[in-house]
Chain A
């Protein structure tokens, strides 16, 4: 079910409980091998909530280091689905986002559940064009695709949820909208706006 807010945003009600088994739709959409990875990611996300890999670390540098290490270990689970070039760029962007010099008071390093949502997002849309990454102050990874006025920004939340905001040229107008949905619903939500304009090359 889709509902629109007063400002034109739309929200799709969650059809599956957060962090539990995959829907039949998802199972049919990806290969059995990918399904195993997705199920493993759901299992991982059901564990305790925290910065990735952070246990007893107290100093900022330690917490950042452990969160980054945790993200890279999680990525290795998906290694066969990420080409080497993208994996290097992903790690490089994550390192850059976690530079202590750039840290603002109160910022959190990347959160495990957000990063799992990002990896699952990647498996679902498999974009040819890669995003620029950002990090919210509460540790959610942000993926942004920008092509002039055509902009798509996706914030990866825990438990498969994403928040997206887009602007796109339709005729002479720039249309904007925003919404909340689950990873497996994202392409359906973006459908009316030709998501290939962000994800395709050329």
Chain B
């Protein structure tokens, strides 16, 4: 994996026009009654106890064309959180500006910051979701993180 130059500054806000990728585990996927996956559930974006931010991966941190960046971001996320090769969870892509706008519509001030880790140089965090109610998490799941990748 080759990293793009100039983006490796920890805790830097991610530009509005960029995108972040969230892994949604198999149990947190929206399915129809036949089991077909059609999205992610709001619970895929809910913070666990004592989790200060929602972990995501900054797509434009990586090099390549759009698909290449997404593929590299998926590879880095898989490696960093130890997702098994056979796992059927999905990656949901969201635009940073849309995320800010949606949070603001529900009176939540969110920040998306680059938080590079040793195992995932594109690792980032969405701050402010500790104040998010289910309505906001549902909006984010349905309208922001709506582009899905296996």
- Taking Cβ atoms with an 8 Å cutoff, the residues of A that contact B are 5-9, 93, 96-97, 99, 101-107, 129-137, 142, 144-146, 151, 153, 155, 163, 165, 167, 176-178
CA distance A16 to B25 in the complex (A): 35
CA distance A132 to B35 in the complex (A): 6
Q: How many residues of B contact A (CB 8 A)?
A: 34
B147 at the interface (CB under 8 A from A): no
**Within 8 Å of chain A (Cβ to Cβ): is B48?**
yes
Contact B28 A136 (CB under 8 A): yes
Q: How far is the CA of A133 from the CA of B26 in the complex (A)?
A: 10
- Asked if B27 is at the interface of the complex by the 8 Å CB criterion, the answer is yes
Determine if B31 and A132 form an interchain contact, defined as CB atoms under 8 angstroms apart.
yes
A89 to B48, CA, bound (A): 29
Task: Say which one of B60-68, B116-124, B134-142 lies at the interface with A.
Answer: B134-142
Whether A155 lies near B33 (C-beta < 8 A) is no
Closest 9 CB pairs of A and B: A132-B31, A135-B27, A102-B26, A178-B134, A178-B135, A130-B33, A165-B138, A165-B134, A136-B43
Could you tell me if B135 and A146 are in contact, using CB atoms closer than 8 angstroms? no
Chain A nearest CB: distance from B50 CB in Å? 11
What residue in chain A is nearest B135 (Cβ atoms)? A178
Looking at the assembled complex, report how far the CB atom of B51 sits from the nearest CB atom of chain A, in whole angstroms. 10
Assess whether A134 is in contact with B87, with CB atoms less than 8 Å apart: no
Whether A134 contacts B29 by the Cβ 8 Å rule is yes
Q: Which residues of A contact B38 (CB under 8 A)?
A: 146
Shortest Cβ distance from residue B90 to the other chain A in the assembled complex, whole angstroms: 11
List B80-111 residues whose CB lies under 8 Å from chain A.
Answer: 81-82, 84, 86-89, 106-107
Q: Quick one: given A9-B134, A178-B138, are A97 and B26 in contact (CB under 8 Å)?
A: yes
- Verify if B78 is at the interface (C-beta below 8 Å from A): no
Contact between B27 and A134 (Cβ–Cβ < 8 Å)? yes
Given contacts A106-B48, A178-B134, A178-B138, 18 further A-B contacts (CB under 8 A): A9-B133, A97-B26, A102-B89, A104-B25, A132-B31, A132-B32, A133-B31, A134-B27, A135-B27, A137-B28, A142-B41, A144-B41, A151-B142, A153-B138, A155-B43, A176-B138, A176-B139, A177-B135
